[in-house]
Each structure stands twice: as structure tokens, then as C-alpha cells.
């Protein structure tokens, strides 16, 4: 195991990031840890280690811990898809228990009161979505196979209760 860690460690290049907001550089990876320094927004840091939601970073002559969400990572075309990327994943698994691959979902853009006020339906997208769903015949066939009986339900009024 030591040989693999050394091999992966030598293939693992330095990871660089930028602070997305002013953030405290902590002595240890805990919210109540002593502050070593205050990093301004857009400071370039070298990421040394990951521990849960904390990153050990080096900025100028200071080394300490910052929350992962305070950083924006550089994307390097030479790292992505390169032969060394497999070694990088192996290194990540050996040091953090994770390959470094993460799937996330979120909202694209910013939703404001103004954008909600000016919202318009996208009928083409609605038609595409409806075309992907089952037709009435398929729904009845599915219900019959599951021995489901139709039920009539009244709409709930949006008014008084």
C-alpha cells in the first residue's frame, strides 16, 4: 500500500483554487479553530489536503484550513482525461476515501422577483415533456395489471378552509 500511495502521490499535481469570498484561514479543520489569517476574495491558493468539507491550503507563506465552499477550483485541460488522471483518482481514494468525482444538481442562474414576474410558459418544452410520458391507453393497462381501480377526487380549493 505504501508503494501505491507513493506512486499516486508523485503523479498527483498541485491543485489550485481561488477564494470566492473573504474567508478565515483556520489552524485546524474546525469552525471554532483559531484564525491564522484572513484571505481576501480571489486569492489563489494551493490545495494540499482534503478532510471532509475542509481543505488544507497554502496561500503566500500561510498554511491552514478553509471550508471547501469558499473555494473555486481551476479547471485544467491537461489534467482532465490525461493518463495521470487515473493516478489522481487513485491518490484521492487512498487519501480521502473518495475518487474526487461528484455529481450535483442545482439551479442555473439567479431567480429574482423580477424574473418571476416576467416568467413566460415554454409550450414547446411542455409538449416535448408530454410526448415522453405514457399515453392514456398505457396508463389504463398499467393500472389494470396492478389491479388498481379508478377513483374520482375533487380538486382542493385554494380559498378558505
pLDDT in tens, 85-117: 555 665 555 555 555 556 556 556 677 888 888
19 domain residue, yes or no: yes
Give me the sheet containing 44-51, strands edge to edge.
Answer: 35-39, 23-26, 62-67, 54-59, 44-51, 15-19, 71-73
144 domain residue, yes or no: no
104 domain residue, yes or no: no
Domain containing residue 43: CATH number: 2.30.30.40
pLDDT in tens, 10-26: 334 568 999 999 999 99
27 domain residue, yes or no: yes
More confident residue, 91 or 66: 66
39 domain residue, yes or no: yes
The residues, any chain, with a CB within 8 Å of residue 44's CB and separated by 6 or more, are: 16, 17, 18, 59
CB atoms within 10 A of CB 11: 16
pLDDT of residue 157: 79
142 domain residue, yes or no: no
Best CA proximity match to 88, nearest among 77, 74, 98, 75: 98
**pLDDT cut 90: percent of the chain above it:** 29
How many separate domains does the chain show? 1
130 domain residue, yes or no: no
Average pLDDT over residues 28-33: 92
Amino acid at each position: 500500500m505504501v508503494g501505491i500511495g507513493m506512486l499516486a502521490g508523485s503523479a498527483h499535481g498541485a491543485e489550485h483554487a481561488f477564494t470566492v469570498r473573504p474567508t478565515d484561514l483556520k489552524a485546524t479543520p474546525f469552525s471554532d479553530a483559531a484564525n491564522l489569517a484572513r484571505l481576501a476574495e480571489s486569492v489563489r491558493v494551493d490545495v494540499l489536503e482534503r478532510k471532509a468539507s475542509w481543505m488544507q491550503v497554502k496561500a503566500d507563506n500561510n498554511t491552514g484550513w478553509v471550508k471547501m465552499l469558499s473555494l473555486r477550483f481551476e479547471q485544467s485541460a491537461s489534467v482532465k482525461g490525461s493518463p495521470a488522471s487515473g493516478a489522481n483518482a487513485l491518490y484521492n481514494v487512498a487519501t480521502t476515501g473518495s475518487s474526487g468525482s461528484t455529481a450535483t444538481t442545482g439551479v442555473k442562474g439567479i431567480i429574482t422577483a423580477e424574473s418571476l414576474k416576467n416568467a413566460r410558459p415554454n409550450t414547446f418544452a411542455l409538449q416535448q415533456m408530454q410526448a415522453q410520458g405514457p399515453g392514456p391507453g398505457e396508463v389504463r393497462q398499467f393500472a389494470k395489471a396492478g389491479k388498481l381501480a379508478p377513483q374520482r377526487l375533487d380538486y382542493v380549493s385554494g380559498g378558505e378552509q
